[in-house]
């Protein structure tokens, strides 16, 4: 199957096409970013009825402010930043917390030794029984992740599912790299505690 005619068009070219009056090119921008936008909205906003309106607001803002995009980051990162800020504004308006306010602020210096995070589900030599186990564990993890505070859910999704770098996540959330790493560490620690509390070790 051959690539679509627009698959080789760069982000810069798409932006310039839209700014030149080709509004149809904005549809390609939507296609390239909707996965990230969906993940952010779904992880940060619990109320399903509000999600479509927020996603629509994100793309209205992106279209309106496209002339201000300076190509200093990926287009998807820029749209992700708009999405994050839009969701953050929603949470603040609803007086919902992004993360547990009782937690002390992150100590970025404590993250110096944490170079990377292991995968949520460790790899193995697959066989049918192992694959079934991994599927069950993935489902269990999915349920547990949804119980985390919005910021933790979001960071885990961006890092482990969208496979974004610390730098990209920092750009989207406007958090320092060290803070992103620290919150990810806390999220995984809390996730582990929840799993151990809810399930017997032999069930995992």
Q: Is residue 65 a part of any domain in this protein? A: yes
Q: What is the mean pLDDT of the chain?
A: 80
Write the DSSP symbol of residue 3. P
**Is the pLDDT higher at 115 or at 74?**
74
CATH number of the structural domain spanning residue 67: 1.10.1740.10
Q: Is residue 4 a part of any domain in this protein? A: no
Q: Residue 43 is part of which domain span?
A: 11-93
* Claim to verify: residue 130 and residue 197 sit in the same structural domain: yes
Q: Above 50 in pLDDT, residue 150?
A: yes
Mean pLDDT of 77-88: 96
Q: Number of folded domains in the chain?
A: 2
Q: Is residue 33 a part of any domain in this protein? A: yes
- pLDDT value for 74: 92
* Claim to verify: residue 81 and residue 142 sit in the same structural domain: no
* Claim to verify: residue 88 and residue 137 sit in the same structural domain: no
**pLDDT class for 161, splitting at 50, 70, 90?**
confident
* Claim to verify: residue 169 and residue 140 sit in the same structural domain: yes
Give Cβ neighbours of residue 134 (< 8 Å, ≥ 6 apart). 121, 124, 126
Q: Above 80 in pLDDT, residue 38?
A: yes
CB 37, CB 78: distance < 8 Å: no
């Amino acid at each position: 199957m051959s690539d679509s005619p627009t698959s080789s068009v760069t982000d810069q070219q798409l932006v310039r096409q839209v700014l030149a009056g080709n509004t149809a090119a904005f549809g390609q921008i939507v296609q390239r970013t909707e996965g990230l936008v969906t993940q952010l909205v779904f992880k940060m906003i619990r109320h399903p009825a509000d999600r479509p309106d927020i996603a629509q607001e994100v793309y209205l803002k992106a279209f309106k402010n496209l002339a201000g995009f300076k190509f200093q980051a990926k287009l998807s990162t820029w749209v992700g930043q708009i999405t994050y800020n839009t969701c953050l504004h929603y949470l603040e308006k609803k007086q919902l917390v992004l993360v547990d306010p009782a937690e002390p602020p992150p100590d970025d210096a404590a993250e110096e030794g944490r170079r990377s995070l292991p995968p949520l589900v460790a790899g193995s030599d697959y066989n049918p029984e192992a694959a079934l186990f991994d599927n069950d564990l993935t489902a269990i993890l999915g349920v547990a992740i949804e119980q985390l505070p919005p910021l933790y859910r979001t960071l885990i999704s961006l890092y482990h599912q969208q496979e974004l770098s610390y730098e990209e996540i920092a750009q989207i959330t406007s958090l320092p790299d060290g803070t992103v790493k620290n919150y990810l560490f806390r999220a995984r620690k809390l996730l582990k505690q929840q799993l151990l509390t809810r399930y017997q070790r032999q069930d995992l």
